[in-house]
Amino acid sequence: MQASPADGVNHDVLEFDSNIKSLCFLQDAQLAATSLENGTFEIVHMDNLQKKSKLSTIQDTVNTYGTETGILSIGERSGINVVDVFEAKTQINKYKFSSSSVVKDTATFCENRVLSLLVYDEDVKKSSVNLVDFRTPTKYSTTIKSTDETINSIVMTKKDEKFALSTKNGIIRMYDVRNSSKPIDVAKVDGDLNHMSLVNEKLSCSSTTSHFIFSVQNGISFEQRILTQRKKWISGFLPGTTVCPLYVVNGSEKSCYVYFTAADQLSAKKSNDTLAYKAERPVVATNSSEYFLAGAGGNLCQQLCDFEKEYRKLKDINRKYRKNSATDFQEQTRQRYEMAGIAEGDRVIFDNDVKLDDVILKEEIESGAFGEVRVCESKKSGTKYAIKILRNTRAIVAEKHLLEKEIAIQSNLLHENIVQLVTSFDSTDHLYIVFELMMCSLRDKMEVCECFDENSTFLIMADLSCGLDFCHTENIIHRDVKPENCLFGSDIKWKLSDFGLSISKQGMTKVGTENYQPPEILDGKPHSFPVDIWSLGCVFYECLEARNPFPQSSTKAMIDAIMSGKIRRSTYMSEDSLMFAKEMLTVDPKMRLSVLGVSRHLWMKKQRKEIVAIKRSKLRNQL
């Protein structure tokens, strides 16, 4: 399906075996979910609009929202359906409503961790706004009760702070989430409202004939009324530029084209449309900062919508520029080794056309539910590597997405204390990722040695803190530092591995291994670089004590101990070592040591001096 040569661009269209009811992007905007009328939803990747996996959902979907790990679907009567894409698990009716309750509309805040549900009770003829907080065991709490049966839409107007309710007869009320006893501001428009949306900090209130645009920075201030002209339609709005904050998705009943037009140009006799493409009128739609997805019947259409680049006409083939961007991980690997001064002959199998035929698969290192890790040997040089082999099945599509993220991060981390990613390639049946071959993990060493002396622990800490310092300099938070992910190489250095949970600068999701998680992650708060220092402190304690500083994982005692920072009484540690551990295991992340503070700590300096003295003594004895 293509647009006219003069006005349009190519776009991708995907067909489903059922009508599309709702759309949403996951927090990683390269994945989107399409909820279908047949009670399923399909995960779609933005690269060439590929279908990735299919899972069950609910048939009476009102809205869907993407989280970092999955999808929230809210049913009109059936409840809330929680789907973990990464675990390929569906939990239907996690929160149920009473039989007389009907969900009219929904909104979310706190990074989609809290739902605001506009619910109408058919028995008592009342509307209410209920909050569902996924961070607590409380099922819901009611913030507003109203006898107004005409309330039909809810939207957040300011992140985590304010929301608005509209009624069918044109009244809009704004409330504060923290105190919703009475509205902050009220506005009235002429016409029956049927929907509200917030785009680029502008509140759009829609009726059958008009769209009313309000500024919601300070209360509700009317800005513009956009009339739907005769024999034309407007399906929604998109965020625009600083010059024109809103773009209108519109079209004509006589035309088979969809247009993206600046809101201030829409009433012009001959509007200068930024984009036109041939497609059906959207029934449901969603957008990220880069893509616009529209559903009509069983067809899903994808289009580029980054207006900040201020295109006059998008005449280039849609999204083809992405194929020339830095997504070729093998090419990235080649370039970073060149930058590091590694000769071509030493790079061995780092060619862009690496295939499975270029290596010999050898003994297995470990295996899991989705694949295995084996030793492989380059046919060209005989050099051995570790190769991660994953089966190319639907069940692990989300896991593969995490691995793509891991590849993207790790391909940019060239450091002697980070396990080096060599290359990646795939086949019809498998995905392959090649790393430098390591000798063992810190966990393996612990099982043999139980606990280390202070000199050995210093060498481990010096290497790991150096690797973390480089990660933090590159704005990468590891988020899963533990003995299993600290590997020992043939170059006698300890290195960080497994960047599958890594993130840039700041995160919100509860990730990692529980007894290595800091209080801010367990508490569901925003977190940053200090989380790695906490985990490093746990590793330090375990090296010297042969046990974790907190009780057994997944117990109330463990959570209470972590939240209070109460570590176990030490048996083998010196007083200086214990104080060092406590400074890394400080509950307040702002008071916790930085990675530079770890490497420069008095304990580290003392151990460094002792090791230097031992080496000097050995040299003197050789004279």
The helix (H) or strand (E) run that includes residue 607 is: helix 602-621
Catalytic residue among 480, 560, 576, 588: 480
Q: In which band, very low, low, confident or very high, does the pLDDT at 334 lie, cut at 50, 70 and 90?
A: very low
Q: Domains in the chain, ordered, with CATH?
A: 1-92+241-325 (no CATH), 97-227 (2.130.10.10), 329-436 (3.30.200.20), 440-618 (1.10.510.10)
Contacts of 530 (CB under 8 A, 6+ apart): 518, 520, 589, 590, 592, 594
Tokens 């003995």 belong to residue: 483
Q: What is the distance between the alpha carbons of residues 609 and 572, in angstroms, rounded to a whole number?
A: 21
Mean pLDDT of the 218-235 span: 88
Q: What is the distance between the alpha carbons of residues 238 and 13, in angstroms, rounded to a whole number?
A: 20
What pLDDT does residue 352 have? 46
Q: In which band, very low, low, confident or very high, does the pLDDT at 362 lie, cut at 50, 70 and 90?
A: very high
Q: In which band, very low, low, confident or very high, does the pLDDT at 97 lie, cut at 50, 70 and 90?
A: confident
pLDDT digits (tens, 9 = 90+) for 129-184: 888 876 665 556 767 777 777 898 999 888 778 899 999 889 999 998 878 888 99
What pLDDT does residue 136 have? 62
Token readout for 93 is: 């009716």
**Spatial strand order in the sheet of 371-378:** 359-367, 371-378, 384-391, 430-436, 421-426
Q: In which band, very low, low, confident or very high, does the pLDDT at 481 lie, cut at 50, 70 and 90?
A: very high
Select the more confidently predicted residue: 406 or 18.
18
Amino acid 583 reads E
Of the CA atoms within 13 Å of residue 184, those in its CB half-sphere come to 20
Q: In which band, very low, low, confident or very high, does the pLDDT at 230 lie, cut at 50, 70 and 90?
A: confident
Q: Specify which of 46-60, 273-287, 445-459, 529-543 reaches the highest per-range mean pLDDT.
A: 529-543
Cβ(397)–Cβ(412) below 8 Å: no
Is pLDDT at 211 greater than 70 in this prediction? yes
Q: How buried is 622 (Cβ within 10 angstroms: 0-12 exposed, 13-18 middle, 19+ buried)?
A: exposed
SS3 of residue 457 by DSSP: helix
List binding-site positions for ATP: 388, 484-485, 498
Is pLDDT at 1 greater than 70 in this prediction? no
Count of CB atoms situated within 10 Å of the CB of 575: 8
DSSP state of 618: H
Q: Specify which of 4-8, 418-422, 534-538 reaches the highest per-range mean pLDDT.
A: 534-538
User: For 77-91, 410-424, 470-484, which range has the lowest pLDDT when averaged over its residues?
Assistant: 77-91
What pLDDT does residue 90 have? 61
Is pLDDT at 310 greater than 60 in this prediction? no
pLDDT digits (tens, 9 = 90+) for 500-523: 888 876 766 677 788 899 999 988
What pLDDT does residue 37 have? 86
Cβ(468)–Cβ(496) below 8 Å: yes
CA–CA distance from 370 to each of 213, 373, 399, 400, 431 (Å)? Answer: 50, 10, 9, 10, 11
What pLDDT does residue 321 have? 34
Q: What is the distance between the alpha carbons of residues 398 and 594, in angstroms, rounded to a whole number?
A: 33
Tokens 């785009």 belong to residue: 199
pTM comes to 0.49
Q: In which band, very low, low, confident or very high, does the pLDDT at 6 lie, cut at 50, 70 and 90?
A: very low
Average pLDDT, the chain: 80
Mean pLDDT of the 236-260 span: 84
What pLDDT does residue 280 have? 84
User: For 24-33, 219-228, 291-300, 580-589, which range has the lowest pLDDT when averaged over its residues?
Assistant: 24-33
426 is a catalytic site residue: no
Paired strand residues for 90: 83
The helix (H) or strand (E) run that includes residue 467 is: helix 454-473
SS3 of residue 275 by DSSP: strand
Which among 421, 401, 402, 399 is positioned nearest to 410, based on CA atoms? 421
The helix (H) or strand (E) run that includes residue 543 is: helix 530-545
Token readout for 138 is: 């409380």
Mean pLDDT of the 452-472 span: 94
Is pLDDT at 3 greater than 70 in this prediction? no
Cβ(519)–Cβ(542) below 8 Å: no
